[in-house]
């Protein structure tokens, strides 16, 4: 019952690859729908979860965590109301991804799956990289963005990715030793990448 984690430099095509592999292997795809899973587990809104992901490592969340003591939060919450900060987000993310991995046969895109499941013998970890020009062109082609929009999206989302991994205490996210397979999407086609990853799972 293998589980695949797909990590990527933003714009390298990780979401596209994850979707195609999931379809070919008849596995469920865990991507943006994990936001709903985390929100339900933590009893907060999906918007709250997205704001945590967007601001991960930011000064605003650090300020909020500093001025709102955990003991006060515990006093004002009950079983029907939730709370979320970066620590709660990371802990809940660990819970959700580990539960998905226990069920097996799924594809998890992003969100530090390679760290959370690093000791899971059934997990296979793939990293997609490509040069900046290729990533910008990929975003323009697949998401119909202008060049300036694509450049901004790649820059902002890559920074968000780095901030999230720092919440795991890790800065080695591009270290090839973390993965069974590293694919340079500047060098191979998406079709070939899907073929290779499916072979890895089989």
35: pLDDT confidence band, cut at 50, 70 and 90? very high
Question: Of 20, 11, 30, which is closest to residue 185 (Cα–Cα)?
Answer: 11
Give the burial class of 97: count Cβ atoms within 10 A of its Cβ; 0-12 exposed, 13-18 middle, 19 or more buried. buried
pLDDT score of 58 more than 80:
no
Token pair listed for 104: 């097996």
If you classify domain 3-201 with CATH, what class do you get?
Answer: alpha beta
Q: What share of the chain has pLDDT > 70, as a percent?
A: 87
Q: What is the pLDDT of residue 85?
A: 84
Write the pLDDT tens digit of every residue in 77-118: 444 557 888 888 889 999 999 999 999 899 999 999 999 999
User: What pTM, to 2 d.p., does this model score?
Assistant: 0.82
* pLDDT over threshold 50, residue 71: no
Q: Choose the most confident range, by mean pLDDT, from 29-33, 142-146, 181-185.
A: 181-185
């Amino acid at each position: 019952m293998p589980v695949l984690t797909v990590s990527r430099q933003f714009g390298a095509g990780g979401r596209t690859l994850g979707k195609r592999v999931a379809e070919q292997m008849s596995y469920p795809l865990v991507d943006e729908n994990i936001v709903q899973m985390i929100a339900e587990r933590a009893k907060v809104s999906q918007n709250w979860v997205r704001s945590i992901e967007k601001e991960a490592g930011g000064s605003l969340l650090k300020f909020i965590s500093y001025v709102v003591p955990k003991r006060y939060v515990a006093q004002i919450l009950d079983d029907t109301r939730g709370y979320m900060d970066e620590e709660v987000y990371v802990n809940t993310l660990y819970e959700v991804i580990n539960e998905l991995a226990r069920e097996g046969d799924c594809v998890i895109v992003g969100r530090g799956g390679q760290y959370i499941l690093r000791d899971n013998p059934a997990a296979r970890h793939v990293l997609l990289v490509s040069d900046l020009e290729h990533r910008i062109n990929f975003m323009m082609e697949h998401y119909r963005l202008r060049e300036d929009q694509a450049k901004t999206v790649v820059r902002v989302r890559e920074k968000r990715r780095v901030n999230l991994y720092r919440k795991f205490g890790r800065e080695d996210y591009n270290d090839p030793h973390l993965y069974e397979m590293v694919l340079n999407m500047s060098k191979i086609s998406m079709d070939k990448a899907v073929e290779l990853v499916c072979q890895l799972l089989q």
